[in-house]
């Protein structure tokens, strides 16, 4: 939902920067890789040290690479499968590092196991949300449904984590992660139901089982 409503705004905002990067010879793939590395560093260095606010600012500075590389690819008329594969794969790395960093801090210096466990649950369910769609599309179905897509997950956890670093009660972060986990679980169920309905419409004998 957020992706659809915000895409036009961010495209207009970042297009001049994307055009400049292309002018100086930077490729969309390079932006994808650098952006992911930035998110990983912010998540696995700042967060485990308890720097929730500064870590969030650092991550936010790189998270928009996911928008910029897409703008650059469109400007170059490069909508190929390789770029799509690289972007999707590194998105999973970035998302996983974000929740892993939170879990590490709250299992250790943050001394709040419930938040750490909630972060781990969000990590696992977030991976399943993405996998369900990817597997469905690989089998010829569509599963682009759900109430907890990637943009919503990132915005909610980054905003609340940053505010927690400024003194927001930790219980708010815990509640946010619990709601996010619940929304992710609902999204997984929605995608399973959607694919199941499509499979029922297939002629008998056309379904094939593929390895994961």
Q: Is 202 exposed, middle or buried (0-12, 13-18, 19+ CB in 10 A)?
A: exposed
Task: With a cut of 60, say whether residue 2 has pLDDT above it.
Answer: no
| Average model confidence (pLDDT) across the chain | 89
How sure is the predictor about 6, in pLDDT bands with cuts at 50, 70 and 90? Answer: low
Residues 43 and 97 sit within 8 Å (Cβ to Cβ):
yes
Taking the C-alpha atoms of residue 122 and residue 173, their distance in angstroms, rounded to an integer, is 12
Instruction: Report CA dihedral (55, 61, 65, 71) to the nearest 10 degrees.
Output: 150
pLDDT for 35: 95
Task: With a cut of 60, say whether residue 209 has pLDDT above it.
Answer: no
Please name which of 62, 68, 66 lies closest in space to residue 26, comparing C-alpha atoms: 68
Q: At what angle do helices 150-165 and 52-63 cross, to 10 degrees?
A: 150
Structure tokens at 139: 């089998």
Task: With a cut of 70, say whether residue 212 has pLDDT above it.
Answer: no
Task: With a cut of 50, say whether residue 1 has pLDDT above it.
Answer: no
Secondary structure class of 189 (helix, strand, coil): helix
Task: With a cut of 90, say whether residue 9 has pLDDT above it.
Answer: no
Residue-wise pLDDT for 108-137, tens only, equals 999 999 999 999 999 999 999 999 999 999
Distances (CA, A) of 126 to 12, 63, 161, 182: 29, 17, 17, 11
- The residue-averaged pLDDT of 33-55 equals 97
Distances (CA, A) of 13 to 68, 90, 105, 141: 10, 23, 34, 34
State the alpha helices, DSSP H only, in 76-169.
Answer: 81-107, 113-138, 150-165
> How many beta carbons lie within 10 A of that of residue 18, not counting itself?
24
pLDDT for 205: 57
Task: With a cut of 70, say whether residue 14 has pLDDT above it.
Answer: yes
Q: Which residues are catalytic?
A: 91
Residue-wise pLDDT for 89-115, tens only, equals 999 999 999 999 999 999 999 999 999
Backbone angles phi, psi at 110, to 5 degrees: -70, -20
Task: With a cut of 80, say whether residue 7 has pLDDT above it.
Answer: no
């Amino acid at each position: 939902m957020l992706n659809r409503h915000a895409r036009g705004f961010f495209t207009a905002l970042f297009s001049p920067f994307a055009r400049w990067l292309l002018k100086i010879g930077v490729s969309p793939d390079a932006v994808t890789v650098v952006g992911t590395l930035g998110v990983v560093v912010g998540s696995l260095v700042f967060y485990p040290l308890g720097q929730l606010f500064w870590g969030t600012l650092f991550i936010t500075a790189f998270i928009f690479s996911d928008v910029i590389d897409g703008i650059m690819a469109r400007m170059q008329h490069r909508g190929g499968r390789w770029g799509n594969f690289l972007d999707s794969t590194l998105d999973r790395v970035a998302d996983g590092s974000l929740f892993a960093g939170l879990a590490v801090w709250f299992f250790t210096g943050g001394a709040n196991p419930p938040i750490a466990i909630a972060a781990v649950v969000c990590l696992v369910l977030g991976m399943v949300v993405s996998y369900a769609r990817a597997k469905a599309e690989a089998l010829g179905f569509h599963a682009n449904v759900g109430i907890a897509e990637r943009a919503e997950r990132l915005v909610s956890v980054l905003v609340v984590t940053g505010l927690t670093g400024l003194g927001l009660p930790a219980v708010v972060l815990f509640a946010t992660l619990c709601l996010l986990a619940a929304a992710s679980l609902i999204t997984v169920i929605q995608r399973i139901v959607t694919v199941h309905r499509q499979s029922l419409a297939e002629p008998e004998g056309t379904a094939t089982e593929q390895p994961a």
